[in-house]
Amino acid sequence: MKKILPPTHFYIYLIISIILHYTVPIIQIFNYPYYLIGFLFFIIGTGLNIWADQLLKKQKTTVKPNEKPTALIETGAFKISRNPMYLGMAVILFGAGFILGSIISFIGVVLFVATMEIAFIPMEEKNLSKQFGKEFGDYKNKVRRWL
């Protein structure tokens, strides 16, 4: 059986956030014009994902968390976060919560971060540590996991 990859989790949690907002709208906290700030989060999150993806492609290493990495990237978006693509997806989900405006609509970002922390990041960091040893350890000590 194939493992569900992070982008699929992202879309599932985005859909869950939208559905819950419209079916169980617990306390509306953002209304016009404040919810428009969410679009800024969309732009930032999307930009971060594209930036990180381009860096991975440039180094010809995998973007898939279950595959063996061939390069340790410490520049660009990876200088800000060890997981800039997950951070970008979380920022987009946060933006969606802002746009929808209800407290329940932020559930997607919480579920996404928890899923990445439990199901993906430990495996990725184990692979990176196995592949790059001390170099990854030094990088891990310099750059935070999320921000």
In a domain, 20, yes or no: no
pLDDT for res 3:
85
Quote the domain boundaries for residue 135. Answer: 31-142
Taking a C-beta distance cutoff of 8 angstroms, is the pair 110, 13 a contact?
A: no
**Rounded-to-10 torsion of CA 82, 10, 97, 78:** 20
Q: How far apart are CA 8 and CA 100, in angstroms?
A: 21
pLDDT for res 2:
65
Number of structural domains found in the chain: 1
In a domain, 86, yes or no: yes
pLDDT, tens digit (0-9, with 9 covering 90-100), for 63-87: 999 899 999 999 999 999 999 999 9
CB contact burial 40-52 (16+ within 10 A = b; e otherwise): ebbebbeebbebb
What's the predicted TM-score (pTM) here? Answer: 0.95
In a domain, 15, yes or no: no
Q: What is the CA radius of gyration of the chain?
A: 16
The DSSP string of 59-85 is TT----TTSPPS----SGGGGT-S-HH
Q: How far apart are CA 26 and CA 12, in angstroms?
A: 20
Q: Which of 58, 45, 69 is nearest to 146 (CA)?
A: 45
In a domain, 7, yes or no: no
Positions in the chain short of pLDDT 70: 1-2
User: What is the token pair recorded at 93?
Assistant: 């989900």
In a domain, 1, yes or no: no
In a domain, 82, yes or no: yes
pLDDT for res 26:
86
In a domain, 92, yes or no: yes
In a domain, 44, yes or no: yes
Report which residue type is found at 25.
Answer: P
